[in-house]
Chain A
């Protein structure tokens, strides 16, 4: 669906994007994470043919950049960082222009469909300059979807929205995922990426890592369970460490952290061994790391690599 090979973008001496290769599959929600100036928007602009790559190439929905730019643009929907609406025009007029530019067959029907879906139909004849930020963002999403593109690029869709409006937008992205569209989501909101994305790519000029959020966590921290004990049990750490499936044991103030390669398989054996060793288990749970932790650690890793 989206296949990029060694994309490079330079603005004069400034290297904005360096050798980005990635593959986004059909129906996938792909999160693109990175700090400000990391090259997220520039990558989206290259993939939507708004700026030409300095090097490398990409295929979007089977159309190659620089070869079939108009076809690429016809097959993608783009939600830009700012809604970019015409403030004096009404919601219907704003969408109508884009429907016609995309050659949508029944523009009024499509406009009605998306204004209704995004709960804007009642405000359809009002100038959008008077809309709240959330409403403008919803209208911009409707605009990106009007021609039913198989791939959707969303650049910071919930930035600057209040929590309620952000939730509406996130729920709508979930709905879109259910329709089998490919979604390329640039975001700073790591919780949002964690909840919505099948895979994430972390960029800092170069692509630092691409994987599912779960694999990124496991890759960085491995998998471990935390055992909380009612009281300290002498010799427990050594007996757990001796178990063949245990990869490591770290004593904690109120128990142990046990590293396992496959907790689903080994947890029952671990519990049995702990009980046999006399441990008073209060509870046992898999340790989780937020995507935020993963992100910061990956960023630190990339800074070290550059240094």
Chain B
């Protein structure tokens, strides 16, 4: 495995993305909207609290985590709203790269650039890893930047307990470690669809379906059916890593260069 060649593909993907304003806009617009929504909500709680007085979880609700139970009603409501927004922010690196990845091989087929690139010393694994990493990195950077912006905004707009509740390990670990890992998984799925299909729309629709199980898990957590604490998150990390390795191996295995080259017209 030659990491230099992987880096070349990653840089090529970024370069291409940078020159495609539509894709680039899509990559950064959604996280930005989310950040504005989170900070807008915090600002509303700070500056027009009487409009936001309906508590999501009334005081004395049983089973509340101690950090929430100790907050006043407005802070608790804002903290719970933040948690919901954070789920969406966490999902951004899973959802956005899949659309880029699903076009990655089909795009090469359309421009007929797959044959010249496969005629270089690059291996299939190097090419596909480059494609996956190239699709994932901008979305992860966008999500991390959004998380940093959110935390910074909360530092100034919210009370200290709400700010500390936002940057607790479950979100920071989730954002820094798990979100990129799930993003790699969904992007690998996108590359698989892109390798097997010839129509970019079909590939994007099928890739979209691949994200559903990940979204399902997220919603279960959101609905309180699955409880995730930092310990659980760290415990599942090796499993997610192993799953990633398995999916990447599968991606390389089912990439049939011969079929792609000879059947694509």
Contact assessment for B111 and A86 in the assembled complex, using a CB-CB cutoff below 8 Å: yes
Q: Which of B112, B113, B119 contacts A50 (CB 8 A)?
A: B119
Q: Which of B15, B117, B122 contacts A93 (CB 8 A)?
A: B15
Residue of A49, A78, A84, A103 with most partner-chain B CB within 10 A: A84
In the bound complex, residues from chain A placing their C-beta under 8 Å from that of B15 are 89, 93
Q: Is the interface of B mostly helix, strand, loop or mixed?
A: helix
B1-26 vs A: 1/0 string, CB under 8 Å? 00011001001100110011000000
Contact assessment for B111 and A80 in the assembled complex, using a CB-CB cutoff below 8 Å: no
In the bound complex, residues from chain B placing their C-beta under 8 Å from that of A83 are 112
CA distance A82 to B15 in the complex (A): 22
CA distance A87 to B20 in the complex (A): 11
Contact assessment for A50 and B16 in the assembled complex, using a CB-CB cutoff below 8 Å: no
B110 CB to nearest chain A CB (Å): 10
| Closest A residue to B126 using CB positions | A101
Given contacts A11-B262, A51-B261, A93-B15, contact A73 B115 (CB under 8 A): no
State whether the Cβ of A204 lies closer than 8 Å to any Cβ in chain B.
no
State whether the Cβ of A259 lies closer than 8 Å to any Cβ in chain B.
no
In the bound complex, residues from chain A placing their C-beta under 8 Å from that of B123 are 70
**Size of B's binding interface in residues, CB under 8 A:** 26
In the bound complex, residues from chain B placing their C-beta under 8 Å from that of A84 are 111-117
Which residues 253-288 of A sit at the B interface, judged by CB distance below 8 A? none
In the bound complex, residues from chain B placing their C-beta under 8 Å from that of A86 are 12, 16, 111, 113
CA distance A179 to B93 in the complex (A): 51
In the bound complex, residues from chain A placing their C-beta under 8 Å from that of B117 are 84, 98, 101
State whether the Cβ of A206 lies closer than 8 Å to any Cβ in chain B.
no
A123-143 vs B: 1/0 string, CB under 8 Å? 000010000000000001001
Contact assessment for A87 and B119 in the assembled complex, using a CB-CB cutoff below 8 Å: no
A92-107 vs B: 1/0 string, CB under 8 Å? 0100011011110000
State whether the Cβ of B62 lies closer than 8 Å to any Cβ in chain A.
no
CA distance A74 to B118 in the complex (A): 11
In the bound complex, residues from chain A placing their C-beta under 8 Å from that of B261 are 45, 50-51
State whether the Cβ of B258 lies closer than 8 Å to any Cβ in chain A.
yes
State whether the Cβ of A76 lies closer than 8 Å to any Cβ in chain B.
yes
State whether the Cβ of A52 lies closer than 8 Å to any Cβ in chain B.
yes
Given contacts A82-B112, A84-B113, A84-B114, contact A97 B12 (CB under 8 A): yes
State whether the Cβ of B232 lies closer than 8 Å to any Cβ in chain A.
no
Contact assessment for B116 and A98 in the assembled complex, using a CB-CB cutoff below 8 Å: yes
In the bound complex, residues from chain A placing their C-beta under 8 Å from that of B115 are 50, 78, 80, 84
B265 CB to nearest chain A CB (Å): 11
Given contacts A45-B261, A51-B261, A101-B5, contact A88 B19 (CB under 8 A): yes
CA distance A82 to B116 in the complex (A): 9
CA distance A52 to B117 in the complex (A): 17
State whether the Cβ of A210 lies closer than 8 Å to any Cβ in chain B.
no
State whether the Cβ of A48 lies closer than 8 Å to any Cβ in chain B.
yes
In the bound complex, residues from chain B placing their C-beta under 8 Å from that of A88 are 16, 19-20
| Closest B residue to A102 using CB positions | B120
A219 CB to nearest chain B CB (Å): 34
Contact assessment for A78 and B121 in the assembled complex, using a CB-CB cutoff below 8 Å: no
Contact assessment for A80 and B19 in the assembled complex, using a CB-CB cutoff below 8 Å: no
State whether the Cβ of A85 lies closer than 8 Å to any Cβ in chain B.
yes
Contact assessment for A80 and B121 in the assembled complex, using a CB-CB cutoff below 8 Å: no
Q: Which of A50, A97, A140 contacts B257 (CB 8 A)?
A: A50
In the bound complex, residues from chain A placing their C-beta under 8 Å from that of B118 are 50
| Closest A residue to B114 using CB positions | A84
CA distance A101 to B262 in the complex (A): 23
In the bound complex, residues from chain A placing their C-beta under 8 Å from that of B4 are 100, 103
A71 CB to nearest chain B CB (Å): 8
A136 CB to nearest chain B CB (Å): 11
CA distance A93 to B14 in the complex (A): 12
15 further interface pairs, Cβ-Cβ under 8 Å (given A83-B112, A86-B113): A11-B262, A42-B262, A50-B119, A50-B258, A76-B119, A80-B112, A80-B116, A88-B19, A89-B19, A97-B11, A100-B4, A101-B120, A101-B121, A102-B121, A143-B116
| Interfacial residues, chain B to chain A (CB-CB below 8 A) | 4-5, 8, 11-12, 15-16, 19-20, 111-123, 257-258, 261-262
27 A/B residue pairs, CB under 8 Å, sorted by A? A11-B262, A45-B262, A50-B258, A51-B262, A70-B123, A71-B121, A76-B119, A78-B119, A80-B115, A80-B116, A84-B111, A84-B112, A84-B113, A84-B117, A86-B16, A97-B8, A97-B11, A98-B116, A100-B4, A100-B5, A100-B8, A101-B117, A101-B120, A101-B121, A102-B120, A102-B121, A143-B116
| CB-based closest 10 A-B pairs | A82-B112, A84-B113, A84-B112, A88-B19, A101-B120, A78-B119, A100-B8, A84-B116, A74-B121, A70-B121
